[in-house]
Amino acid sequence: MATNKNAWKKKITERIPRLLSSNSYITLIDLFIDMQWIERRHFYNWKDGLHQTLDENFNFSDKKQVEALAIFEKQMEGHKSIDIPWHEHSLLRGECLLRVSAHDSREALYQRYYFANDLTDRKRKSIEKKLTAEPSPRIFLKVGKDTECEMCETPIFKGDFFYLDIQKPYCMKCLNLNHLSFLPSGDATLSRRAREFSESFAEVVEWSRRGRYERRGILVDEAAIEKAEASNLQDAEKRKVGREKGKQRQIKIDVKHTEEFQKTILDIFPSCPRNEVASIAFHATVRSSGRVGRTAAAKKLDNKMIRLAVIAYIRHKHTDYDELLSHGFSKDIARKKIQGAVQEKLKSWEMTLDGYNSLA
């Protein structure tokens, strides 16, 4: 039992830096969803008003919840935070406050957003502004079987837009949104400007095979789209130049990070072959890869994160880990089987040339 406890505790401490690095902030709900302790469908159903509290759908015991809260709070010491009550804006019911837990003593922690420590004050305030802004109406793209509007009984066919409130569908006409035009995702500047120019706005999402809602575009006034397109044409060349400069600037930052990553690997593992040092650093620091080298801690060249990147490389390049996975072994079992080989390689790379001579 103690081993299992330590296993999920370790997962919490490992996933927090990764989530902070990818999102710049984290909540307990983000962590629990990432650990698959909450199913996304239950989360969305709760936000849609189907459940009084979210914790009634947690996939773990109340005791484990209390322990996880304590671990999370301890891990987030020293991080700036802001408390924002969970809420959803309904076009039919207005602003709806949501409760995560039936326990008042826990609710405050569930409402707390913690920020990554490497954020500038400007970036943090920008995120706070977005988090505290009134949520936009979320319109759904109909897929699957046909249905009908709860209010007027008008048929809603596959490919139609509709609004969902407490799992009941409503057509665009009943919501007075049928005058809006659809602008697909793909051009962020065009979408932003169209939203600014439009008096009405709604976000269009679709349920994906990944088990979550994904944005497909926005609904705005037709005149706003035309105005946004004209605005884009006026400064198209200027924005192109700006994107290219930004791209080159980012390449320089990435190259510098990879070089510093290599130097730190050699400081910790002086006997690691130079070609393998380069491979480890390059693989771990690829932009948007989600790998350990892209975490906030790794960007600060934290020794623990560097070591995890080296272990991951050894696991795949110097053991039969991938072969074990292909034969049906779980990741946990496969890692236990190769643990000895990984530790042996780590020790050999940690030794200096003098260390080898003293053993001879």
Domain-terminating residue out of 72, 104, 135: 135
pLDDT at 32: 93
Domain-terminating residue out of 100, 135, 170: 135
> Same domain for 1 and 118?
yes
Q: Which domain holds residue 267?
A: 238-359
> Same domain for 30 and 144?
no
pLDDT at 107: 92
> Same domain for 227 and 124?
no
- Number of domains comprising the chain: 3
> Same domain for 14 and 119?
yes
pTM here is: 0.62
pLDDT at 9: 86
> Same domain for 256 and 348?
yes
pLDDT at 354: 52
pLDDT at 33: 92
> Same domain for 1 and 129?
yes
Buried b vs exposed e over 2-26: b needs ≥16 C-beta within 10 Å? Answer: eeeeeeeeeebeeebbbbbbbebbb
> Same domain for 94 and 186?
no
- Output the 3-class SS for 241-287: HHHHHHHHHHHHHHHHHHHHHHHHHHHHCCCCCHHHHHHHHHHHCCC
Instruction: List Cα–Cα distances, 301 to 14, 262, 281, in angstroms.
Output: 16, 10, 11
Domain-terminating residue out of 184, 213, 234: 234
Beta strand pairing call for 155-156 and 168-170: unpaired
pLDDT at 48: 81
> Same domain for 121 and 21?
yes
pLDDT at 292: 56
Residues of the chain with pLDDT under 70: 1-5, 143, 287-301, 352-360
Rounded CA Rg of the chain: 25
> Same domain for 317 and 300?
yes
> Same domain for 256 and 222?
no
> Same domain for 329 and 339?
yes
pLDDT at 295: 54
> Same domain for 14 and 75?
yes
